[in-house]
Chains A and B, each alone.
Chain A
Amino acid sequence: MPEIRVASVSHSFGDGAARRPVLRDVDVVLTEHRIGIVGANGSGKSTFVRLLNGLIRPDAGTVTVDGRDTVKDGREVRRRVGFCFTDPDAQIVMPTVAEDIAFGLRRRDLSRAEREERTRAALTAYGLDGHADHPAHLLSGGQKQLLALASVLVTEPDLLVLDEPTTLLDLRNAAMVRRVVDGLPQQVVLVTHHLDLLDGFDRVLVFDDGRIVHDAGPAEAVSAYRALAAG
């Protein structure tokens, strides 16, 4: 598994009087297969995971993935780190399903045949076979999220970061996404409010007010989080 190293990272949003610290001196090294992140709204989870592919540059400290700095080697890092967001509509770029999956491969040095082959394989793997030429906007929410996932996974990232991928989905669709995530061989960092998704995870971080306040296995971390939430 890749080694994610977050060293003395602090980050704030806003300027002057409106300046608010969102991450406070976070230090952590992650090498496990499945890593979960939980915490209250606004505790800094999304900010933290956006550091992992250089979407956010930390005000202080460094973030590296397998030794590559996410700011200095941002391009290389983004080729290896796939990112799946909450809102599937905002992640789909192309008008039809197969085209969106193929889009991620456009800038890779692949022959046309290879591109088509990989696209076909991804369609099958994520149950989108019958929808290859369907307009993306006619898919259900769960299918859209599966498409967003497929479009990221077809580029074969070493690490997949997911920021609340099931928040907008119903139970059935959330279960579909969960099955895909459970079957992934690569390293996964998952932010979620659906605590049952974390069953079987190797490590769970609990965020509170910009700090990691618990770092344990899923059962222990989730009960610590519940206690924290209960005040």
Chain B
Amino acid sequence: MEIVGQLQKQYVDFITSLFREAYLDDQYVQLQKLQDDSNPEFVVEVVSIFFEDSEKLLNDLASSLQQQVVDFKKVDGYVHQFKGSSSSVGAQRVKNACVDFKNFCEEKNLDGCLRFLNLVKQEFYLVKNKLETLLRLEQQILQAGGMVPPLE
């Protein structure tokens, strides 16, 4: 029973599904290209920053939408940031949800905003979960002495 081989297959199957289901897009591949022996933790680092950033943005979004008088420009600003960072890590579904969210901000549609805040939150936690699983798999492969199969 070859552990490394199994783990690698698991990894490939999993990451393929993530691309297929649009959780991740090409930008994630780009990030992988930036990782090498001199920077073996690059993806983990970026993704960690993304997670932290996003939690903060979600909080900011929630509180700004709870105000008596909602400042939609401010909300839009937060969504814009979220859209940017999710795009930069390749979190496609999150990014797409942010695009739609922005439309509701522009229309000053509170209902729409609240709905989309929930959607963005959902998508974020989904991709967070998936990325954590993915990165864990990578770790396991490396620890078992194998190499992480390159993407594409």
Do the two chains belong together in a single complex? no
